[in-house]
Amino acid sequence: MDGVWWPHTDDLTLEIPLLQEFCRTLGRIDRVAYSLFEWASAPAAVVHNDHRIKLDGYRFHTRHTLHVRYVNGTALRLLILPPQSAPDAAAAALSVAAQPRDETSVADLLNPHSAALAGYLARRAAEQNWEYEGGHTYETDAAQPAMRKWYDKRT
């Protein structure tokens, strides 16, 4: 997989222009191949900024993936998180997949109860709890110089 995408809807005619804008540094999208079972019916093409993007739906296309080909020949294979995914699970999948040299399986990224996502969510909850309770690192504490001055006076 070259990336993970969490679309807002199952409507490709709305989502593909957003994907084009998000990935515009790669150039213009020429063609998108998708699974017919995961998206609402779509036309054969969508026009975005006076550019026609072909949409190819297949019955036997790998589920939860989107193949994107750009005019310049670049091709991407994206894992698609279902639009109805819970926000915490989607954020965990996006974060885990974004790690360098991540080898988490597609099945684990799509399973909100997988060990990989559970580990991420546990670490994130611990970080949030730490911050909520006033914890932070020494280097990021804006009040630390004043506290150090006060401490130095006492010793």
- Residue 7 vs residue 95, higher pLDDT: 7
Section 16-45 average pLDDT? 87
Reference 13, options 45, 56, 57; nearest CA is 45
Query: Cα 148 to chain center, whole Å?
Result: 41
- Residue 79 vs residue 119, higher pLDDT: 79
Q: Is residue 9 over pLDDT 80?
A: yes
What residues does each domain of the chain span? 1-84, 85-137
Section 137-152 average pLDDT? 46
The CA distance from 147 to 149, in Å, is: 5
Q: Is residue 68 over pLDDT 90?
A: yes
- pTM score, whole prediction: 0.69
Reference 52, options 73, 31, 67; nearest CA is 31
Q: Is residue 8 over pLDDT 60?
A: yes
